[in-house]
Amino acid sequence: MSAIGRSIRRIEDRALLTGNGRFAADLNREHQLHMRVVRSPVAFGRLVEVDASDAADVPGVEAIWTAADIAELPQIDFRMTKITGMEPYRQWCLAKDYVRYVGEPVAVVFANSPYAAEDAAELVFCDIDEVDAHLEATAEPVAFMPETMPGLLTEPAVLHKSCGDLDAAFAEAAEVVELELKVGRHTGVPLETRGALAVHDAATDTVTMYGAAKVPHYNRGAIAAMLGLAIDRVHLSEGHVGGGFGIRGELYPEDVLTCHAARRLGRPVKWIEDRKEHLMAANHSRDQVYRMRAAIAPDGFLLGLDVTFITDQGAYVRTHGATVSDLSAALLPGPYVIPAYRVAGHIRLTNKTPAGTYRAPGRYESTFARERLMDAIAARVGIDRLEVRRRNLIPESRIPFDRGMDTLGTGVVYDSGRYHDLLARLEAHVGWEELAASIAERRAAGEMVGLGLGYFIEKSGLGPEDMVRMRVAPDGGIRIITGAASVGQGIETAMAQICADSLGVDTARIAIVHGQTSLIEKGMGAFASRVTVMTGSAIKIASEALIEAALDIGAKLFQVDRASVAYKAGEVRVASSDRAMSLAQLASAWAEQGGLAAEGTFRSDHMTYPYGIHLAQVRIDPGTCDVLVERYTVAYDIGRVINPMLVEGQIVGAVAQGLGGALYENFEYDEAGQPLATSFADYLMPTALEVPEVFTLVREDAPSPINPLGVKGAGEGGITAVGAAIASAVDDAAGRPGMVTRLPITPDRLHAWLA
């Protein structure tokens, strides 16, 4: 039986379920110091002085640093951005000259206990000449740092992409539809806050940081460069991780400071973030405004689209660079033909927490904008919302479909897709006609109920390469070392299934080792839904190479021609005989010659593009203006399913997060730039009471032709169209097409719209 396509239980869960998980806060070393960060209490101002004299007198305090004490550390650089000119906007590890958001690190305290560190940090006084905060990204750019960087404005970059003849499209148009839409500021909020334990080996001048996540190899290289060390003098080690969602794994000031301090102070340094710090200082996301003009043919076909959007980047451009805006611009057209397209994406800075990536970065926002537009076109032309999508979907005959644009350094070419087919399958799966009729009956009886949908294109499998090493132990265990990382997505299980399928062995024999930079020299980590595509393909290649190596060794040990041996289900057999050796026996017999091992590298110049549809059914409580989600369905084609249970889990969890951004989660600031949501009392998240049962229709109708497994990533599609589908359903429930123009749809906002 094939190991691929089976819902086997997660291999990685035993340690977690038996209380043996080891997260960053669980890690300790003898004689460790505890680091506490002193953060700016104001949103914008000139930093006159940091007075740490009282803090230094607290018993147990070993050191206190300000920017002057770490002047040798450069700004934190970008990862994966090709946009030039943004370098001056990078963040320092500690504020110098100016503070630019509430929560910006100004100083760090190192003490023998976390209590002494926190007590001392509260005594550090920051003398700041406060300046009026700049909080509206849609306003004209202003001075970034008036005195120290004169002439530098708060617009680091504007991204431009285009295809087709837009002027001709508008000249031909029967209708022009214009919209302005906004997606609010929210973030991933993983269960585990950030943390790190840095240990310095003085004998080798090597720093190891425990608690790494998402991109250990990249952060290793960046930290080594900032500390002026050779890359082999820095190691990052990943343990258990309590959620990633894009927010974890960026290179933050605290990561660099713990490593620098361990080396300079000669003792292990531990830092664990509290929840208030996390909500103030870890990456925020979303927060975009879209202004759209669409040229429409009489039948509702979208001839051309002209878009300007603004991303509120917050106070600095962090390591993700222009990633969110770049993805927004390139993937906004989604699954529709749109012959002519032009977009200008403005990256603007404000005095808020810096923004970064969050699950489906740029696609959650742009899908909301695009699908609101499709609903608006349907209303303007007077056709059904499904029909307007049908008329605009890319036909299968045009796949692969080249957008004529690029993103993240690779051309946007949809590798495979049957977009009309998936829409038809969803209609049949939910019984669209009967469902719509039942909604109409309830509405006639006075209920405010409605249906909404959103179609999306995702991207996954970002290259350029992944490498794995595989070795068989004399006891038959198979150890695979990869540079990928785990943030809860089930990497150990899925990768073991791919190896087991290729080798014909039990997954119980396979161990996946990940996130350890000391064991493999390169790796891309876990982001952009890339692991199954890239690492999985590398494991398949390595498994096939291992079979070839086993056949070579078997032929030598049996003293027969290579053509006389064959491999099946973990054994090498001699043809027409009962002579056979298992992988374990081959590895043991060949131990002195290097054992049984193989390596696999998979390279790809293009991403894969999974696609899907969200369908939401909601009811509005007219008394409270609450939105109750009664039913939710996700149809998703990911090419090939490795583990259906894992895929369903990814979809359901992502839908819950998407509902947060659609209905509840929002970072608000007062007029002075003070954050108003720094605890779960104010930052609302959906609970089990608000998240409905999520139904899934997972398809394998369009395998990817650009990797040996035919797979596409599954991690982000469950969140991508939630805002779009919920907005569409709320419009329908209210009987007001085009009513919802911003997320989240809070009760006070909905009350104002209905009034």
| pLDDT tens per residue, range 263-311 | 999 999 999 999 999 999 999 999 999 999 999 999 999 999 999 999 9
| pLDDT tens per residue, range 422-431 | 999 999 999 9
CA distance 677 to 659: 18
Q: Where are the beta strands (DSSP E) in 389-461?
A: 401-407, 410-414, 448-457
- Residue 480 is predicted with a pLDDT of 98
- Residue 144 is predicted with a pLDDT of 96
CA distance 111 to 118: 9
Question: Which stretches of 297-416 are DSSP H helices?
Answer: 323-331, 363-381, 385-392
pLDDT at position 24 over 80:
yes
- Residue 696 is predicted with a pLDDT of 98
Quick one: 57 exposed, middle or buried, by C-beta within 10 A (0-12, 13-18, 19+)? exposed
| pLDDT tens per residue, range 513-542 | 999 999 999 999 998 899 999 999 999 999
- Residue 299 is predicted with a pLDDT of 97
Q: Is 490 left (phi over 0), alpha (psi -120 to 50) or beta?
A: left
**At 640, which helix (H) or strand (E)?**
none
Are 531 and 244 spatial neighbours (Cβ–Cβ below 8 Å)? no
Q: What single letter denotes the amino acid at residue 224?
A: A
The backbone torsions φ and ψ at residue 710, rounded to the nearest 5 degrees and listed phi first, read 75, 15
Are 156 and 149 spatial neighbours (Cβ–Cβ below 8 Å)? no
- Residue 80 is predicted with a pLDDT of 78
Q: What angle do CA 353, 76, 275 make, to 5 degrees?
A: 40
- Residue 528 is predicted with a pLDDT of 86
CA distance 244 to 359: 9
What is the percent of the chain where pLDDT is above 90?
97
| pLDDT tens per residue, range 91-134 | 999 999 999 999 999 999 999 999 999 999 999 999 999 999 99
Radius of gyration of the chain (CA): 27
CA distance 618 to 448: 8
Q: What angle do CA 152, 256, 15 make, to 5 degrees?
A: 130
Averaged pLDDT, 735-740: 97
Please give the mean pLDDT across all residues of the chain. Answer: 96
pTM score of the predicted model: 0.97
CA distance 263 to 206: 8
Distances (CA, A) of 661 to 276, 298, 388, 564, 651: 19, 35, 26, 61, 16
| pLDDT tens per residue, range 40-94 | 999 999 999 999 999 999 999 999 999 999 999 999 999 877 788 999 999 999 9
- Pairing assessment for the beta strands 611-621 and 448-457 based on DSSP bridges: antiparallel
Averaged pLDDT, 439-452: 97
Distances (CA, A) of 664 to 252, 705, 738: 27, 40, 20
pLDDT at position 447 over 80:
yes
Nearest alpha carbon to residue 454 among 414, 431, 426, 434:
426
| pLDDT tens per residue, range 132-157 | 999 999 999 999 999 999 999 999 99
In order of their start, the domains of the chain are 24-131+193-241+248-281 (3.90.1170.50), 367-460+607-754 (3.30.365.10), 462-603 (3.30.365.10)
pLDDT at position 1 over 80:
no
| pLDDT tens per residue, range 568-602 | 999 999 998 999 999 999 999 999 999 999 999 99
pLDDT at position 497 over 80:
yes
Q: In what order do the strands lie in the sheet with 571-574?
A: 565-568, 571-574, 580-582
Q: Record the tokens describing residue 74, joined without a space.
A: 């450069």
- Residue 268 is predicted with a pLDDT of 98
- Residue 653 is predicted with a pLDDT of 96
- Residue 84 is predicted with a pLDDT of 85
What is the percent of the chain where pLDDT is above 70?
100
Nearest alpha carbon to residue 455 among 570, 338, 333:
333
Averaged pLDDT, 176-181: 98
Half-sphere exposure (CA, 13 Å, Cβ side) for 243?
15
3-state secondary structure 657-679: HHHHHHHHCCCCECCCCCECCCC
